Structure 1
């Protein structure tokens, strides 16, 4: 168990370093560009990190995948134009300062996932991997406080700007799946009570996101049901576990997670 914790910690520390974000309080709002009919914003869960087949146009860091749910939806529905600007590691600050340019009066659909980075989930994973159950519980508690405070305010600011930039758009905010299948196949790694605590934190994160989305008239798409039975430690996972060879893909949806989990959730919300 100790070896598995140390290995997970090394991976999580790298993941933490990869998820630094801009403070929304000081971030500038992205300049306007040509408006698109469908604009896909957000973090790695929307860019498709973990799904493979990354688009050359996404550069080295954003990991925009041709298998990500926004691409799959755009391919299945006729759109006047499609702008895919979601980026791995993005928090609300980056969405504000780097991704809102394509929004405009002609935008009819906006989708996004954001909030995990702002809540410090990567730091929580590091603490849980190396610190033991007591420290893990404390880290989860601090993350939940951040969700209720800083994240809630950040989402309000972001959602207000999105509505101002795209007044006629249907905005769909998608949530996050549970990371772990409890009582599953994993014999190494985090103990069961820590896995349960992390799943509970995801539930709280989704609750905060859903509440703020509703306050701005946005739709919220819950994906936890779709991923039930397909979490890490399940027999058919749609999420990557820790991968030391592709660290940014750890804890992210696979291609089936995008096509069978996220894509139907977006369709149901429309």
Structure 2
């Protein structure tokens, strides 16, 4: 079921992981959803012109994090995700959110996704010649970031997995980066072809979940391995920025903008292996979602 928001003076509302083995923790958090409430106010200044038709595409980074997960469009989507925060901020003529947790680049272009409530059509079907703004968060699953980062984690505080010196691991990470670049290029090319020539396309980069040091248990890696992951994520963002430039899209450098707010920071905008707020590990928390919405609004003025 497609989510449409019509512009009728909307009310203001308060408004890839390091190791899948923490699924039990995430499950416990889900149980607490009903007790949670948005903590961050929606950005107020509308920098975009009114009357836009906005379509949001992507994976769980776009579909949102806890709290306030709600099933929509066949996926779990959060009311505090950055597309919804942005939509409430700019008051578009129409808003369609097709982002879905677990999405791959192919789920944007041609491959139906196996969602929790049944098959989900390719997301690009909702991009038309009347679409004015498209945001895209994709590539983390194609990159297999969870496995790349998981190889760098340690079982005990102070441990060192030395993933940075493992030749097989480094080669596999580079192969994954090349694959992600190819399939993401195809996805953005297809979106550009489907949208009107004037449509604004915004690619939201990766980052924020790794700084330059480890901190048990939030980032269970040595400082040296954390620095390697940080440098690898820099390469990921560089590849995505080139894709954005190729298809006349804006690029949100989440990694650069979020320096000092990784999971080891005193005020994290992103959650680590063990979340410190009601949010999914390895994803933006509510503050991070609000920040991304603000960056997009400013970028596409």
Same fold, TM-score > 0.5, yes or no = yes
- Give the match's secondary structure for 1:41: strand
Cα distance per residue 1:78-128 (max 9 Å; x no partner): 312100011112110112232111110100000011111111111112222
Q: 2:204 aligns with which of 171, 174, 197?
A: 174
* TM-score normalized with structure 1 length: 0.78
Counterpart check, 1:224 vs 2:235: no
Higher helix share: 1
Task: Output aligned runs, 1:83-232, within 5 Å.
Answer: 83-96=96-109, 97=111, 98-129=122-153, 132-134=161-163, 137=166, 138-147=168-177, 149-168=178-197, 169-183=199-213, 186-188=215-217, 189-232=220-263
Match of 1:4 in 2: none
Q: Alpha-carbon deviation of 1:146?
A: 2.5
Q: Aligned residue for 2:22?
A: 11
Answer yes or no: is the 8 Å Cα contact 1:144–1:205 preserved in 2. Answer: no
Decide whether the 8 Å contact of 1:53 with 1:66 is kept in 2: yes
| SS of corresponding position for 1:111 | strand
Deviation, 1:55, is 2.1
Equivalents in 1 of 2:295, 2:103: separation in Å? 21
Tell me by how many angstroms 1:268 deviates: 2.4
Matched, 1:75 2:88: yes
**Per-residue deviation, residues 43-87 of structure 1 (Å, max 9, x unmatched):** 1111113x421123255xx43111111111111113121000111
Q: Which runs of 5+ in 2 are unaligned?
A: 1-17, 27-51, 112-121, 155-159
Deviations 1:248-270, CA, capped at 9 Å, x for gaps: 9111110001102x112211220
Equivalent in the alignment of 1:257: 288
CA contact (8 A) 1:12 1:126 kept: no
Equivalent in the alignment of 1:23 = none
Is contact 2:67-2:278 (8 Å) kept?
Answer: no
Contact 1:140 1:197 in 2 (8 A): no
Q: Gaps spanning 5+ residues in structure 1: where?
A: 1-6, 16-35
CA root-mean-square deviation: 2.9
Shift of 1:129: 2.2
Instruction: Find the aligned partners of 1:73 and 1:198 in 2 and give their Cα distance.
Output: 30
> TM-score normalized by structure 2?
0.71
In structure 2, distance between residues paired with 1:175 and 1:238? 15
How many residues are aligned here? 238
